[in-house]
Amino acid sequence: MAGTDRRRLPASGGPAIILVEPQLGENIGTTARAMYNCGLTELRLVKPRDGWPNKKATAAASGADTVLRQARLFDSVEAAIADLRHVYAATARDRYMVKRILTPRRAAAEMRQVLAAGEASGILFGPERTGLVNDHIALADTVLTVPLNPAFSSLNLAQAVLIVGYEWFTSGEETPAEQLVTGHSQPATKEELLRFFGHFEEELDRSGFLRTADKRPGMIRNLRNLFQRAHLTAQELRTLHGVITAFVGPRDREGAPPLPASRPKAGRGRETASRASGKV
């Protein structure tokens, strides 16, 4: 349907749309078109297979060039979400993770509240053929799923972005059903959370907790999901860093040997010995 009116001021802003390893330039272009239809202008690309920029993307965008010109390129999902405080992962498959699952409509209302509070958010979309891998979903706070025919819920990339974008565009301003009051601290960015994961998992490796190689990836994902659900603030992460450092102790920080076991006081020891022999 034709509906371009360049005399009108375009909508802009909204959550970042993050395409993870998109395969075809045409799909990036049609995604940009779907985004611009819904007033979404921040496109992030993680390792597009056919390189960037891409002439086929420009052709398929059908006038949504402004989205493509502003698109940002990243080498990893972690880098693409580092400055965000809330990340949603779009997937149609059950990943058997303990995650909140929202419809695009419910997520749109939540994202409006998040952005109104000055907290950046983004939505991850996986490659066309396989979708997001579990390790990428583990980095997200919430799973976003479109309720469709359970026997056939496959969407192409631009379709998925358009449905999510439409719900965002039509959601308007709504009072959220849930709020998290963080006081003087701010919700942690993904960069801060990833730094904590690195610190935590390093010490778990050194302690031997993650010693079973085949179980290690699943254990890490479970632990990361636990902290993701907590909606930690930057101050809480600093506290957790301190807790880990305190548990590690001076042995690792200063090379000091462990403290010797305490010995009973001399008088107490004689008293115990006397009682054991039947003497008072």
Q: What secondary structure does DSSP assign to 10-58, as a single string?
A: PP---SEEEEES---HHHHHHHHHHHHHTT---EEEES-TT-SS-HHHH
Asked if the bond preceding 150 is cis, omega within 30° of 0, the reply is no
Could you tell me the pTM of the whole model?
0.73
CB hemisphere CA count around 5 (13 angstroms): 6
What pLDDT, on a 0 to 100 scale, did the predictor assign at position 212? 95
- Tell me the percentage of the chain whose pLDDT exceeds 90: 67
What pLDDT, on a 0 to 100 scale, did the predictor assign at position 251? 55
The full DSSP string for 145-190 is -----TT-----HHHHHHHHHHHHHHH-S---S-----TTS-BPPH
* Per-position b or e across 122-155, b if 16+ CB within 10 A of its CB: bbbbbbbeebbeeebbbbbbbbbbbeeeeeeeee
Q: Is residue 84 a contact partner of residue 140, using CB atoms and an 8 Å limit?
A: no
Picking from 147, 124, 156, 122, the residue whose alpha carbon sits closest to that of residue 137 is 124
What pLDDT, on a 0 to 100 scale, did the predictor assign at position 257? 44
Mean pLDDT score of the chain: 85
Residue ranges per structural domain of the chain: 16-171, 190-249
Q: Is residue 49 a contact partner of residue 23, using CB atoms and an 8 Å limit?
A: yes
**Dist CA 28 CA 14 (whole Å):** 18
Q: Are strands 121-125 and 16-20 parallel, antiparallel or unpaired?
A: parallel
Q: The domain 190-249: what is its CATH number?
A: 1.10.8
Q: Are strands 100-102 and 86-90 parallel, antiparallel or unpaired?
A: unpaired
At 30-77, the pLDDT tens digits run 999 999 999 999 999 999 999 999 999 999 999 899 999 999 999 999
Phi, psi of 89 (to 5 degrees): -115, 120
- Tell me the percentage of the chain whose pLDDT exceeds 70: 81
pLDDT band at 259; cut points 50, 70, 90:
very low
**Dist CA 44 CA 120 (whole Å):** 14
Amino acid sitting at position 120: A
Q: Of 261 and 206, which is predicted with more confidence?
A: 206
**Dist CA 142 CA 102 (whole Å):** 7
Class in CATH terms, 16-171: alpha beta
**Dist CA 112 CA 125 (whole Å):** 19
What pLDDT, on a 0 to 100 scale, did the predictor assign at position 150? 86
